[in-house]
């Protein structure tokens, strides 16, 4: 049975499981190998069953476990060329890459992926829509704002995993340096709760079944606030669509479809 499950979501590490009937991939590997094994184990799976790792960008919270993982497992890493170069520079190693082109649809096993550009402060960051047996899943975090391109790709998704990173007032009030605040709030930073809510309102359609609010800041957000803002934006549709938080310290609610 096809499965989507966030294994971890946030600045301490990001990794998602996406599985069809015959293919199992991780999107990002920002957890340690030990944590990945434990969280996959909760779903009745092992690392040996993972066929590939797809990388969105080279920030450490998305690739932290990659070096040890590549040493222990002979597993292909799917990334665009610039991200692959960034990974090699960061990890001082050469994983077994399969290179895709941003903006061009590709197939791995029986899962179709369409990577598209997002505005974030790395070399060539991407988000994805994935297609499994006619089901469309949008996976979109680490973006400073939702461009027309982002909105176009996220149309008509059955399921969404989307960033609701921070509450701007909490960013301004935190003790972090000004450079951090400017980065998070900037157009190459992260999507705020309000921006996420506005995006959801714009792309909502009757076929949308479930939304994961992702990459919440531990310091500059409150899950209840994030959830409330997105729920308010879709208040006329909450009987049809479920909105839930993607967790950092544990796996989130698995989605079988």
CATH number assigned to the domain comprising residue 74: 3.60.15.10
Cα distance between residue 209 and residue 204, in whole Å: 10
Range of the domain at 95: 3-256
Q: Is the pTM here over 0.85, yes or no?
A: yes
Total number of domains constituting the chain:
1
**Residues 54-98: tens digit of each pLDDT:** 999 999 999 999 999 999 998 999 999 999 999 999 887 888 899
**Residues 151-200: tens digit of each pLDDT:** 999 999 999 999 999 999 999 999 999 999 999 999 999 999 999 999 99
pLDDT of amino acid 91: 87
Q: Number of C-alpha atoms within 13 angstroms, CB side, residue 30?
A: 24
Alpha carbon distances (Å) from 83 to 59, 108, 124: 9, 18, 6
């Amino acid at each position: 049975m096809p499965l989507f499950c966030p294994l971890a979501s946030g600045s301490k590490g990001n990794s998602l499981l996406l599985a069809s009937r015959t293919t199992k991939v991780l999107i990002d590997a920002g957890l340690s190998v030990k944590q990945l094994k434990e969280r996959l184990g909760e779903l009745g799976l092992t690392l040996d069953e993972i066929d590939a790792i797809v990388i969105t960008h080279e920030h450490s919270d998305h690739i932290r476990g990659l070096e040890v993982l590549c040493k222990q497992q002979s597993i292909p890493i799917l990334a665009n060329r610039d991200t692959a170069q960034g990974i090699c520079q960061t990890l001082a190693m050469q994983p077994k890459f399969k290179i895709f082109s941003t903006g061009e649809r590709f197939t791995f096993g029986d899962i179709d992926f369409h990577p598209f550009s997002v505005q974030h402060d790395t070399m060539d960051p991407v988000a994805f829509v994935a297609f499994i047996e006619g089901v469309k899943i949008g996976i979109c975090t680490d973006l400073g704002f939702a461009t027309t391109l982002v909105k176009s790709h996220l149309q008509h998704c059955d399921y969404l995993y989307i960033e609701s990173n921070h509450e701007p007032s909490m960013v301004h009030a935190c003790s972090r340096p000004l450079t951090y605040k400017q980065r998070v709030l900037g157009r190459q930073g992260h999507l705020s709760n309000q921006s996420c809510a506005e995006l959801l309102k714009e792309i909502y359609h009757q076929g949308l079944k479930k939304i994961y609010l992702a990459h919440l800041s531990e310091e500059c957000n409150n899950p209840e606030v994030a959830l409330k803002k997105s729920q308010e934006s879709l208040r006329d549709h909450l009987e049809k669509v479920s909105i839930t938080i993607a967790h950092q310290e544990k796996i989130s609610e698995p989605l079988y479809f």
